[in-house]
Amino acid sequence: MIKTWLFCFFVYLLSYAPSMGQAFNFLESQKFKQGIQSNGVLFQDKESNPALFFPAQSQNPVVKFSGVWISSTDTNSIIRASILKNNNENDFTYGPLSITASKVDSQWDRVPIVKQNIIEEHILRYKESGYMPNENIINWPCNAPFPSRNILASFADWNANLIYEPLLGEYPILSGNQSAYLVYNDWHANRTAIVSNPIGLEIKHEVYTKENNPLLFRSSFHRVLVTNKNTINFKALKLGIYLESNIGEGKSEFVRTLPFQNSVLIYSTKQSDSFYGTQIPAVIVQFLNAPLAGSIYITQDNDLVTGMPQNAEEVNNLLSGKWTNAKRLTYGGNGVDGSNQARFIYPGLEDDVNQQFDWTEEKSGNLPGPRNILLRFDSLSVESNQTREYILVYHIIEDFKVEEMGKLKEFLNTVDSLFDIGQITNTPVLQKTDSKIYPNPIQQGQEIHLEGLENANIHIYQSEGRLVKELEIKSSVFSEKLNLKPGIYWLKIHVPNQIVATHKVIVIE
C-alpha cells in the first residue's frame, strides 16, 4: 500500500514538473478544426496565421483571430484593461496567477486535449497492472502547483482530498465530448497590446465540442471563468469577445447584430470564392448564460474614433458601448455621427430602443471588407477572489444566405433552449423543489399529473431543444394530456423571476 502511494505521488510530481509543453494545439471535430494557444489566443497559430478551418480536413479559414478583452474599474475609479490583438500582441500569459510569485512556470505552456472516450477507457482500465493513463489525462490542469489545494479544472475526486490523482482512477469532468483546457492570467504577462497596469485576473478557459448532437457539429463552445486574484475589489469588470473575420478569401464581409438571439453574425458578400465555391459559410458568436449587452466594430487603423485602442481608458470606452474617444455609438449610418444612442451595431429592426428604420450595412451603403467586432457582456462587480462565469459559442453556418435569416434565428433559438435544459454544459438545472411530476415514463395520450406547482409556467422542449408546448399552472394540483410523440422531453418550470427546476420526462408508446 505504501509503495503504491509513493508511486502515485511520484507520478503526480512528474505531472507538474517543468516541461516545454505545447503552446499551440488543434481541437478537431467532425466538421471543423480550431487552433488554440496557451495564452488565450483563439483560432490563430504562433505565426499569426488563421487557424479555424472548415471543413476540418481543409485549410479553408473562417476566422482570423479571436479572444477576450477585459477592462475594470476599482473602488477608487482607477481603470485597468487587458486585451489581445493580432500579430501576437497580448496582455495575457499562460498559467495560474500568484501575485507573490515572480513568474509562471513554463510547464503551464501547453494546451492539453482530452476526449470523453479516452476518459471512459481510463475509468475501465486504471486498476490494470502496468496501465498508464493518457498523457493529457495526467497533465490535465486540475490543481495549482503542489501543495496548493486550489482547484483549477473540475475532476472526479474519489477520496475528497482536493488533489487530482489520475493513477487512482480520478479523471477530468468535461463539458463536452472533447475539451481543451487553458489557464492564463494578465499579471505575469509581458504586456504588448496596450498601455495599462495589469488587473490581476486568472482565467480558466474550457474550449469544447458537442459530438452527440448533429445540430452542434459546427459549434465551438467556450466556458470562461474569470477570478479576481488581486487584493483589490472591482466595482465594474467588463468582459468582451473580440473577433477578426477571415471567411475564405476574406476582405468581403458584412456584420449584423441579432439582439434577440444574443448573437453577432459575420458573413461574406461574395457569390463565390476560391476556397468555398458558391457555398460560403458564415460565422456567429452567441452568448448563452447572459444577454448580449452590446456590439461595436473596430477598424484596423489609427482612427481616433473607430481605431484600435491604445490604453485602458480606450478599451473601457469600447466595452461601454462608446468609441475610443468616449463618444457614444449612435444609431444609423456608420454609427459615429447619429443623434440617438445605440447599443448594437447594425441590428436591422431588432434594436427595441431604436426602430426608426432598418439599420444594416447594406442599407447604410457600406463597402464590404474585413470586419473586426467586439461583443460585450454586462458590467459586473467582482470582489477579491470572486469568480465570474461566461459561456458562449462560435457557430460556423454552412452555405449562409441572407434571405434565410429566419431559419438562422430559429437555429440560434434552439441552441439557447438546449443551454437552458443543460444540454450545452452537461449540467442540467435540477434544483430541489416540493413538486411532483408523475407518471414518468408516461404513455402517449396518458394524462400527466403535476403537484406543488401553483402559479407556475412550464415550457416543454424536445431533446433537440425545440419548444413544443407551454403550460400555465394556476392550482397546486394539475392534470393534462400532453399529446406528445414518443421521445425524451425536458420540462422547465418557471415561477415569477426564476427557473426553479428542470425535469426529464420520457413519453413511450
Contacting residues for 380 by C-beta, under 8 A, at least 6 apart: 236, 237, 238, 388
Bridge-based pairing state of the strands 498-508 and 442-443: parallel
Q: What are phi and psi of 295, to 5 degrees?
A: -150, 150
| pLDDT-based confidence at residue 188 (cuts at 50, 70, 90) | very high
Contacting residues for 47 by C-beta, under 8 A, at least 6 apart: none
SS3 per residue for 266-281:
EEECCCCECCCECCCC
Cell numbers 500582441 label which residue? 89
Q: Where in the chain do CATH 2.60.40.1930 domains reside?
A: 436-508
Cα 188 from chain centre: 24
What's the one-letter identity of residue 8? Answer: C
pLDDT at residue 427 in the model: 54
pLDDT at residue 463 in the model: 65
Q: What is the pLDDT of residues 95-138, one digit of tens each?
A: 999 888 878 888 889 999 999 999 999 999 999 999 999 999 99
| pLDDT-based confidence at residue 157 (cuts at 50, 70, 90) | confident
Contacting residues for 78 by C-beta, under 8 A, at least 6 apart: none
Q: What are phi and psi of 51, to 5 degrees?
A: -145, 40
A 10 A CB-CB count for 87 gives 10
Radius of gyration of the chain (CA): 24
Over residues 281-291, mean pLDDT: 95
pLDDT at residue 497 in the model: 56
Over residues 215-232, mean pLDDT: 95
pLDDT at 317 over 70: yes
Which cell numbers hold the place of 255?
A: 456584420
Residue ranges in 193-266 assigned as alpha helix (H): none
Please give the model's pTM, rounded to 2 decimal places: 0.84
pLDDT at 4 over 70: no
| pLDDT-based confidence at residue 151 (cuts at 50, 70, 90) | confident
| pLDDT-based confidence at residue 149 (cuts at 50, 70, 90) | low
Compute the distance between CA of residue 137 and CA of residue 139 in angstroms, rounded to an integer. Answer: 5
Q: Are 455 and 480 in contact (CB under 8 A)?
A: no
| pLDDT-based confidence at residue 161 (cuts at 50, 70, 90) | confident
Burial of 175-195, coded b for 16+ CB within 10 Å and e otherwise, reads bbbbbbbbbbbbbbbebebbe
End-to-end Cα, the chain, rounded Å: 53
Greater confidence, 160 or 220? 220
Q: What is the pLDDT of residues 441-473, one digit of tens each?
A: 888 888 888 887 778 888 887 766 677 888 888
Helix H or strand E encompassing 180: strand 178-185
Concatenate the DSSP letters of all residues of 433-472 into one string: -S-EEESSSEETTPEEEEES-TTEEEEEEETTS-EEEEEE
pLDDT at residue 356 in the model: 73
pLDDT at residue 282 in the model: 97
DSSP 420: H
The answer to whether domain 436-508 has CATH 2.60.40.1930 is: yes
pLDDT at residue 21 in the model: 37
**Average of per-residue pLDDT values in the chain:** 87
pLDDT at residue 36 in the model: 97
Q: What is the pLDDT of residues 408-446, one digit of tens each?
A: 999 999 999 888 878 888 654 444 456 778 888 888 888
Q: What is the pLDDT of residues 226-262, one digit of tens each?
A: 999 999 999 999 999 999 999 999 889 999 999 999 9
Cell numbers 480550431 label which residue? 34
pLDDT at residue 226 in the model: 96
pLDDT at residue 434 in the model: 63
pLDDT at 66 over 70: yes
pLDDT at 1 over 60: no
Residue ranges in 323-404 assigned as alpha helix (H): none
pLDDT at residue 20 in the model: 36
Q: What is the pLDDT of residues 10-34, one digit of tens each?
A: 444 444 333 333 589 999 999 999 9
Compute the distance between CA of residue 124 and CA of residue 490 in angstroms, rounded to an integer. Answer: 31
Q: How far is CA 167 from CA 9, 127, 134, 137, 173, in A?
A: 9, 8, 10, 10, 16
pLDDT at 191 over 80: yes
Contacting residues for 503 by C-beta, under 8 A, at least 6 apart: 430, 437, 440, 490, 491, 493
Greater confidence, 381 or 482? 381
pLDDT at residue 433 in the model: 55
pLDDT at residue 160 in the model: 80
